[in-house]
Structure 1
């Protein structure tokens, strides 16, 4: 968006599952907690490879009571990112991110909106209403198609 829309209590980071251990090394000395389905937090041990069913990792500086980063693990197949919600929702890894003018990497908005579409909260609706007008026709089409794949699976 280029500007804050609302306050954020933590930073969300998408990491391909194959790079999960690099995350631990990047923030050595932090507390790491894996969210075992259906959402039970447990310590994530150094060097532990998390199984496919675990998608969320919460972390904070050692001794802090406040979560600072939520890492979401996603799947890949060769050079493709693959949505954990449906294997037919995929894109080339090189097309899922961008970098701001100040050098900060971010997930393309259509993928972020896709993930937020499952069970939207009020803050997700704020994000959707702000981002939708900025999406290109191709981005909107991708988002529409990806949501339709999920809806077909649920029907």
Structure 2
């Protein structure tokens, strides 16, 4: 059974633009909750996997199904720095659902794009929604938004605007740019 994954975070935006726009402190990879045990089985031989929960990191145990964990930190060993982070996303049937507002959703086969080399990455409007929807929008997230804005297609802007309006009916600072 194949594992569906894609690059997320700032690197996803840079892959979309076909150039690196800033320094990145990590690599984020998205998988679906349904496929987490496939990911575990494929990674456990060469990597140490830590689940982030309640503000702490604990080893992810063999066969342990993570019902609510959203982040897995991956390293070669306990002495090595983090190599990448796995973000577990939720789905309903064949739809991705946004963790902060389940009414925001997309068909699962439409949440990723691919580079000419075939590297899958999260669509820019979905990545920007994750950045904008956080309780604390960081400076780098705002800068990523401003960097991406000129390249967003009208339908991508419309989807992002609609999704932000759903999550923030009282308004959001980014809406005036969309």
The TM-score normalised by the length of structure 2 is 0.80
1:34 matched to 2:51? The reply is yes
Deviation at 1:137, TM superposition (A): 0.8
Give the aligned CA root-mean-square deviation in angstroms: 1.7
Q: Which residue of 2 aligns with 1:130?
A: 147
Match of 1:59 among 66, 74, 77: 74
Cα distance in 2 between the residues matched to 1:30 and 1:17: 19
Cα distance in 2 between the residues matched to 1:63 and 1:74: 26
3-state SS, counterpart of residue 86 of structure 2 = strand
Deviations for 1:1-29, whole angstroms, at most 9, x for unmatched residues? 10011122221011111111122223232
Deviations for 1:113-153, whole angstroms, at most 9, x for unmatched residues? 00011222122122111111111111011111111111139
1:96 matched to 2:106? The reply is no
3-state SS, counterpart of residue 168 of structure 2 = helix
3-state SS, counterpart of residue 152 of structure 1 = coil
Q: Which residue of 2 aligns with 1:145?
A: 162
3-state SS, counterpart of residue 149 of structure 1 = helix
Q: Which residue of 2 aligns with 1:46?
A: 62
The runs of at least 4 consecutive aligned structure 1 residues that moved more than 6 Å come to none
3-state SS, counterpart of residue 169 of structure 2 = helix
Single out whichever of 136-145 and 4-13 deviates more from structure 2.
4-13
The TM-score normalised by the length of structure 1 is 0.91
Q: Which residue of 1 aligns with 2:174?
A: none
Matched-pair contact (CA < 8 Å) for 1:9–1:68: no
Match of 1:106 among 121, 124, 136: 121
Deviation at 1:34, TM superposition (A): 0.8
1:13 matched to 2:35? The reply is no
Match of 1:4 among 10, 20, 24: 20
Count of aligned positions: 152
Cα distance in 2 between the residues matched to 1:127 and 1:14: 19
Distance 1:62 1:102, change over 3 A: same
